[in-house]
């Protein structure tokens, strides 16, 4: 590393000098490119114990400046190897987030350009390009032009915004008057979501003052889909009890099993009951880029709002969540406040100030990375990659189905397979309590052993109270050999733990 | 630009090939470095009308991939010139956010490494380095080690988290039971903040279900500081009316005038009343890096929580807000939910999963850029820069004070000066209604003309119902010549609009 990278090169400069920045940034690019080229050499999960890393950093901050070369060297030895490698093709846990090449380029420029598109005036291009990209995504998803929206940080925030808007749209005037001490609201507001809906729905209810009690979980059928008759009955029952139903959250692609609620039937119920319908398609929504795979989403065009996360299956560096809504004014009424110091004096005609549609005032310029990656991949390129992931998951499901010692535990509508080891010799005995406990323990041991290999990272859930291994394909680098490797490891560890010879 | 930058270089690769990424990223670095070197050539505010940019982008997304060279060329012609240049040394509006060189390098690596430190397991180093950096900042601010904390996106979120924790700490059990239909909460929960407190406090009350009515604004004195006796009286009055006071927000550095509430006296009141004390030092807190300038913050060590934004005056690319608290368990009780699919099986000993302390599940790895920039600047380097900004503002205030045609409208405890044009000939007449209206209009014209110059960008507010021009120094590139230029432009435009010859 050259001496260009010494600290505070010059006396006068208050920021790093542009030419020193240029040299340092070129050095950083090489670290980044080397990492992406070599990421597969790392174990997906770093072999470190909690609490072991912090003591390796100085307990006190430095008073004197340090050279970039030194910081970068520490980055390579202390930071990079101790990351969980979401960029690794063996990352098949949770839902993947790949920071794609063009997305990273967009983030680089975002960092240097330093925009804050809270007001149109504080970033005209940040504001208007967000409008462009939101509409590009709307079209790509096959949604009608009545939908408008914004980019938020996470699905948690998108869903919170949707439910805050529902709280207003129901006529309860909560933004102004709050929830306490108001007899006309009855014992409380209610949101409905399936037993399999994401924890972010419950957390939004906590944040919004509805409480965990404000979320009523509707039972699911044997395929983990919301039971629509149970939803309808719950709404009627709550209304009779004086509660105030405000919203239904339908999930297209739940987190545990990626099950799909019957969105059309739920939309019917929501419309009849006058409730806000929010569709959580944070993970699976990307599949709607494929026109022939839009079946699971039928009915979402009737939603009041919906969320799809580009930072999941659209290869966008964290963070980027797309919130679309047909009722932007309800969202605005939930959050808008314009104090004098944010008023713009030269405002001509209708200007969108995006901060009025979210809990935060400040915002990142998230549209830029999406503009980069949608153009670089093209919609066709994105479709090709999503299709490939669907195929890889289907192939894995076939292997599970074909093996008598393994059991698939849910349908595979997208790219996530839920399964467990269940040796053929136990067929017919899996309802016994001792067998259930044995299978739970053994599958936990299997996944632990597989993850310790470093080649792949799988996560787990519980379905119908059974310990369930999940394999979810969504990393841009994942190929058939990685899925095959996961399968080999799973079978190998199951045999080893079962005391049977390998092979 | 080389042919290396063609789209989708190779058949097999699902992401951009590492070597193509390397070439593209080096090209992007040159765009970034050129921008930072030449930013002063741009007008701070781009001379564009609302709605004029969107039609310059294609209405529909591309199906076919496009080359990075093309996207980057469009970036230079469509995006860069139409940004509001927060990186420009003439940016003296609102509060500055500078994305410093080392901060940008940190963001680049963050984008490539693709971490999501929602759980320890999903980013061991992201989690533990956040602990390191949060503690470095705590020490730098001179706060005792009873404070722990986390990095959030914005002060809006930090304050929302603090007030959600206050909602729990007060014993109302809102996360579980909500706010509606609960007689024991009386007519409602109350938060107290001064009339000058930031809109994010009010927005947090809206989001949290307290409503705008849930915030009681306490009057300020002639220097825009909360009146502590009025606070005490308001709490007593509300208690008598059956309301449930939960928190006081004291501001050290308000947004309009950067006034400082008497934090120690407010801490006394809050302690006596059993209320959560949150201190909003989002902008000014950086000054506490200077041990001899800690006077305005005296008493904040008694706060339950406080917020300082590194993405304001600590030169950190957006987003990064530091929330410190002595009561992390109250924060956790407001947000924590651990569904099965997020449970970690191999958890040994105490592990911090940061998602349990915030409304969102997903999180960016914000600690990395802070680790880079604290090391590169060193605390001494940061102190030197903050001191320089304090000096520049003091110098500007002196020039205003020395000119009989101008009037300073608030003290200058930090780097922000509030003032207006008020010609000497009107001395003694500024209380007349017609004179007030004239001064308001004329000062609005002056700031508009000054901003149209392109050399500087100032914003405004209202203080004691007077139109007030604000000049806030916080950009890393701002030097004396930029502040002098602002002063020349202000006087020049005032003279021109007043029909007097220039000079």
Strand partners of residue B279 = B250, B306
Nearest beta carbon to residue A109 from set B75, B255, B360? B75
Nearest beta carbon to residue B21 from set A101, A318, A375? A101
**Where does residue B95 fall: left (phi above 0), alpha (psi -120 to 50 degrees), or beta otherwise?**
beta
Does the structure show a pLDDT above 60 at A7? Answer: no
Q: How close is the nearest chain A Cα to the Cα of B354, in Å?
A: 13
DSSP percent split of chain B into helix, strand, coil, nearest 5: 50, 15, 40
Confidence label for B346 from pLDDT (cuts 50, 70 and 90): low
Q: How close is the nearest chain B Cα to the Cα of A422, in Å?
A: 20
More confident residue, A166 or A499: A166
Nearest residue to A179 (alpha-carbon basis) of B195, B205, B307, B26: B205
pLDDT at residue B338 in the model: 81
Q: Which residues contact B349 (CB under 8 A, 6 or more apart)?
A: A49, A50, A51
Does the structure show a pLDDT above 70 at A27? Answer: yes
User: How far, in whole angstroms, is CA A52 from its chain's centroid?
Assistant: 28
pLDDT at residue A502 in the model: 55
Mean per-residue pLDDT, A482-500 = 95
Q: Which residues contact A251 (CB under 8 A, 6 or more apart)?
A: A193, A194, A196, A197, A198, A226, A259, A260, A261, A279, A280, A281
Name every chain B residue with its beta carbon within 8 A of the beta carbon of A114.
86-87, 97-99, 317-318
Separation CA B405–CA B487 (nearest Å): 12
Name every chain A residue with its beta carbon within 8 A of the beta carbon of B113.
35, 79-80, 83, 87, 99
Q: Could you tell me if A180 and B186 are in contact, meaning their C-beta atoms sit under 8 angstroms apart?
A: yes
Mean pLDDT (chain B, rounded): 94
Does the structure show a pLDDT above 50 at A503? Answer: no
Q: How close is the nearest chain B Cα to the Cα of A450, in Å?
A: 13
Q: Could you tell me if A486 and A90 are in contact, meaning their C-beta atoms sit under 8 angstroms apart?
A: yes
Name every chain B residue with its beta carbon within 8 A of the beta carbon of A381.
8, 65
- Full strand arrangement of the beta sheet holding A406-408: A406-408, A416-421, A466-472, A459-463
Does the structure show a pLDDT above 60 at A115? Answer: yes
Nearest beta carbon to residue A180 from set B68, B179, B364? B179
pLDDT at residue B249 in the model: 98
Structural tokens at position A503: 């092979």
Helix (H, G, I), strand (E, B) or coil at B207: helix
Q: How many CB atoms lie within 10 A of CB A11?
A: 5
Nearest residue to A313 (alpha-carbon basis) of A382, A259, A391, A381: A382
pLDDT at residue A170 in the model: 80
This prediction's pTM:
0.96
- A147-334 and A379-497 share one fold: no
User: How far, in whole angstroms, is CA A101 from its chain's centroid?
Assistant: 19
A21-25: Cβ within 8 A, 24+ apart = A21/B32, A21/B33, A21/B36, A21/B101, A21/B104, A21/B105, A22/B29, A22/B30, A22/B33, A24/A68, A24/A72, A24/B101, A24/B102, A24/B105, A25/B29, A25/B32, A25/B33, A25/B104, A25/B105, A25/B108
Q: How close is the nearest chain B Cα to the Cα of A250, in Å?
A: 18
Q: Could you tell me if A431 and A483 are in contact, meaning their C-beta atoms sit under 8 angstroms apart?
A: no
Is it true that domain A7-85 has CATH number 3.20.20.150?
Answer: no
Name every chain B residue with its beta carbon within 8 A of the beta carbon of A388.
14
Name every chain B residue with its beta carbon within 8 A of the beta carbon of A66.
375-376, 378
DSSP annotation of B260 reads: B
pLDDT at residue B6 in the model: 42
Which DSSP string do the residues of B26-62 spell out, in sequence order?
Answer: HHHHHHHHHHHHHGGGS-SS----TTSSGGGS-SS--
DSSP annotation of B94 reads: S
Mean pLDDT (chain A, rounded): 94
Separation CA B78–CA B71 (nearest Å): 10
Peptide bond before residue A321 is cis, with ω within 30 degrees of 0? no
Contact B104 A157 (CB under 8 A): no
Confidence label for A431 from pLDDT (cuts 50, 70 and 90): confident
Mean per-residue pLDDT, A103-128 = 98
Helix (H, G, I), strand (E, B) or coil at A20: helix
Nearest residue to A450 (alpha-carbon basis) of B346, B351, B119, B116: B346
Q: How close is the nearest chain B Cα to the Cα of A479, in Å?
A: 9
Q: How close is the nearest chain A Cα to the Cα of B388, in Å?
A: 10
Residue B53: closest C-alpha in chain A: A128
Instruction: Give the C-alpha distances (Å, rounded to integers) separating A155 from A165, A280, A282, A358, B134.
Output: 15, 8, 6, 13, 26
Contact A99 B112 (CB under 8 A): yes
Confidence label for B171 from pLDDT (cuts 50, 70 and 90): confident
Name every chain B residue with its beta carbon within 8 A of the beta carbon of A100.
15-16
Q: How close is the nearest chain A Cα to the Cα of B468, in Å?
A: 10
Confidence label for B332 from pLDDT (cuts 50, 70 and 90): very high
User: How far, in whole angstroms, is CA B252 from its chain's centroid?
Assistant: 13
Q: Could you tell me if B395 and B480 are in contact, meaning their C-beta atoms sit under 8 angstroms apart?
A: yes
Q: Could you tell me if B376 and A16 are in contact, meaning their C-beta atoms sit under 8 angstroms apart?
A: yes
Contact B179 A372 (CB under 8 A): no
pLDDT at residue A2 in the model: 37
Contact B199 A342 (CB under 8 A): yes
CATH topology of domain B147-334: 3.40.640
Q: Could you tell me if A254 and A463 are in contact, meaning their C-beta atoms sit under 8 angstroms apart?
A: no
Separation CA B80–CA B71 (nearest Å): 12
Does the structure show a pLDDT above 60 at B348? Answer: no
Residue B202: closest C-alpha in chain A: A337
Separation CA B290–CA B310 (nearest Å): 15
Name every chain B residue with its beta carbon within 8 A of the beta carbon of A315.
15
Q: Could you tell me if B35 and A49 are in contact, meaning their C-beta atoms sit under 8 angstroms apart?
A: no
Helix A155-167 and helix A199-207, axial crossing angle in degrees, nearest 10: 50
Whose tokens are 């110091």? That residue is A341
Nearest beta carbon to residue B181 from set A177, A185, A460? A185
pLDDT at residue A346 in the model: 55
Mean per-residue pLDDT, A62-91 = 98
Confidence label for A9 from pLDDT (cuts 50, 70 and 90): very low
Separation CA A355–CA A117 (nearest Å): 8
Separation CA A252–CA A262 (nearest Å): 8
Mean per-residue pLDDT, B247-268 = 98
Helix (H, G, I), strand (E, B) or coil at B364: coil
- CA atoms within a 13 Å half-sphere pointing along the CA-CB vector of B222: 0
pLDDT at residue B147 in the model: 98
Nearest beta carbon to residue B61 from set A64, A140, A164? A140
Separation CA B448–CA B469 (nearest Å): 11
Name every chain B residue with its beta carbon within 8 A of the beta carbon of A389.
none
Does the structure show a pLDDT above 90 at B286? Answer: yes
pLDDT at residue A339 in the model: 79
Nearest residue to B420 (alpha-carbon basis) of B365, B381, B464: B464
Structural tokens at position A460: 């787990």
Confidence label for A340 from pLDDT (cuts 50, 70 and 90): confident
Q: Could you tell me if B16 and A376 are in contact, meaning their C-beta atoms sit under 8 angstroms apart?
A: yes
Contact A178 B188 (CB under 8 A): yes
Over residues B40-95, the pLDDT tens digits come to: 999 999 999 999 999 999 999 999 999 999 999 999 999 999 999 999 999 999 99
Does the structure show a pLDDT above 70 at A397? Answer: yes
Separation CA A488–CA A467 (nearest Å): 20
Nearest beta carbon to residue A380 from set B30, B64, B477? B64
Whose tokens are 């405002």? That residue is A347
pLDDT at residue A402 in the model: 98
Strand partners of residue A250 = A279
Separation CA A97–CA A84 (nearest Å): 12
Q: How close is the nearest chain A Cα to the Cα of B11, in Å?
A: 11
| Domain residue ranges in chain B | 7-85, 147-334, 379-497
Nearest beta carbon to residue B124 from set A48, A120, A156? A48
> Pairing state of beta strands A466-472 and A416-421?
antiparallel
Nearest residue to A88 (alpha-carbon basis) of A99, A74, A77: A99
Separation CA A187–CA B181 (nearest Å): 4
Q: Could you tell me if A189 and A179 are in contact, meaning their C-beta atoms sit under 8 angstroms apart?
A: yes
Nearest beta carbon to residue A376 from set B66, B123, B255? B66
Contact B341 A255 (CB under 8 A): yes
CATH classification code of A379-497: 3.90.1150.10
Over residues A197-253, the pLDDT tens digits come to: 999 999 999 999 999 999 999 999 999 999 999 999 999 999 999 999 999 999 999
**Where does residue A137 fall: left (phi above 0), alpha (psi -120 to 50 degrees), or beta otherwise?**
alpha
Name every chain B residue with its beta carbon within 8 A of the beta carbon of A478.
14
Nearest beta carbon to residue A207 from set B61, B64, B208? B208
Confidence label for B13 from pLDDT (cuts 50, 70 and 90): low
pLDDT at residue B4 in the model: 41
Q: How close is the nearest chain A Cα to the Cα of B255, in Å?
A: 8
DSSP annotation of A317 reads: P
Separation CA B261–CA A266 (nearest Å): 51
Whose tokens are 């529909």? That residue is B60
pLDDT at residue B371 in the model: 98
Separation CA A148–CA A144 (nearest Å): 9
Q: Write b or e for each residue in B298-334: b if 16 or more Cβ atoms lie within 10 A of its Cβ, otherwise e.
A: ebbbbbbbbbbbbbbbbbbbbbbbbbbbbbbebbbbb
Instruction: Give the C-alpha distances (Å, rounded to integers) separating B491 from A390, B94, B482.
Output: 66, 21, 14
Instruction: Give the C-alpha distances (Å, rounded to integers) separating A142 from A132, A284, A295, B266.
Output: 16, 14, 12, 55
Nearest beta carbon to residue A319 from set B62, B185, B362? B362
Residue A157: closest C-alpha in chain B: B360
Name every chain A residue with its beta carbon within 8 A of the beta carbon of B444.
345
Nearest beta carbon to residue A65 from set B105, B124, B376? B376
Confidence label for A425 from pLDDT (cuts 50, 70 and 90): very high
Name every chain A residue with its beta carbon within 8 A of the beta carbon of B371.
71
**ipTM for the predicted complex:** 0.96
Which of B42, B72, B341, B447 is best to mutate for the A interface (most A CBs within 10 A)?
Answer: B341
Q: How close is the nearest chain A Cα to the Cα of B159, in Å?
A: 10
Mean per-residue pLDDT, A82-105 = 98
Contact B156 A362 (CB under 8 A): yes
Name every chain B residue with its beta carbon within 8 A of the beta carbon of A132.
54, 57-59
Nearest residue to B414 (alpha-carbon basis) of B377, B387, B378, B381: B387
Separation CA B421–CA B116 (nearest Å): 50
Name every chain A residue with its beta carbon within 8 A of the beta carbon of B363.
318
């Amino acid at each position: 590393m050259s001496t260009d990278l010494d600290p505070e090169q010059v006396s006068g400069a208050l920021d790093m000098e542009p030419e020193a920045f240029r040299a340092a940034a070129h050095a950083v690019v090489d670290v980044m490119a080397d990492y992406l080229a070599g990421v597969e050499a790392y174990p997906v999960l770093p072999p470190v114990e909690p609490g072991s890393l912090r003591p390796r950093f100085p307990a006190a901050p430095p008073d004197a400046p340090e050279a970039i070369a030194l910081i970068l060297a520490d980055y390579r030895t202390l930071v990079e190897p101790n990351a969980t490698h979401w960029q690794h093709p063996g990352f098949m846990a949770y839902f993947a987030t790949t920071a794609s090449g063009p997305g990273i380029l967009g983030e680089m420029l975002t960092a240097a350009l330093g925009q804050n598109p809270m007001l149109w005036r504080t970033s005209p291009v940040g504001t208007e390009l967000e409008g462009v990209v939101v509409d590009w995504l709307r079209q790509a998803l096959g949604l009608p032009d009545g939908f408008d929206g914004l980019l938020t940080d996470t699905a948690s925030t998108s869903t919170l915004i949707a439910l805050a808007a529902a709280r207003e749209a129901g006529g309860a005037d909560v933004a102004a008057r709050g929830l306490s001490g108001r007899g006309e609201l009855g014992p409380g507001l209610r949101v409905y979501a399936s037993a399999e809906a994401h924890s972010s729905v419950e957390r939004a209810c906590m944040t919004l003052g509805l409480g965990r009690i404000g979320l009523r979980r509707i039972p699911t059928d044997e395929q983990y889909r919301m039971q629509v008759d149970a939803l309808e009955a719950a709404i009627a029952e709550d209304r009779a009890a004086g509660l105030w139903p405000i919203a239904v959250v339908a999930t297209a692609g739940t987190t545990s099993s990626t099950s799909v609620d019957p969105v059309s039937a739920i939309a019917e119920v929501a419309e009849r009951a006058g409730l806000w319908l929010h569709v959580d398609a944070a993970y699976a929504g990307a599949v709607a880029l494929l026109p022939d795979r839009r079946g699971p989403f039928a009915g979402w065009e009737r939603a009041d709002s919906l969320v799809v996360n580009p930072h999941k299956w659209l290869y966008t560096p964290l963070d980027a969540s797309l919130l679309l809504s047909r009722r932007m004014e309800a969202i605005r009424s939930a959050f808008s406040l314009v104090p004098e110091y944010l008023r713009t004096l030269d405002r001509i005609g209708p200007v969108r100030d995006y901060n009025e549609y979210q809990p935060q005032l400040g915002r990142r310029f998230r549209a830029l990375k999406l503009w980069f990656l949608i153009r670089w991949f093209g919609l066709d390129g994105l479709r090709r990659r999503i299709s490939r992931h669907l195929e890889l998951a289907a192939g894995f499901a076939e292997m599970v189905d074909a093996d008598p010692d393994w059991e698939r535990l849910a349908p595979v509508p997208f790219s996530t397979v839920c399964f467990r080891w269940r040796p053929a010799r136990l067929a017919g005995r899996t309802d016994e309590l001792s067998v259930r406990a044995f299978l739970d323990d053994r599958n936990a041991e299997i996944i632990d052993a597989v993850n310790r290999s470093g080649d792949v990272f799988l996560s787990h859930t519980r379905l119908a109270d059974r310990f369930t291994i999940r394999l979810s394909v969504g990393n841009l680098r994942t190929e058939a050999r990685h899925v095959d490797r996961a399968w080999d490891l799973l079978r190998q560890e199951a045999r080893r733990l079962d005391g049977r010879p390998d092979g």
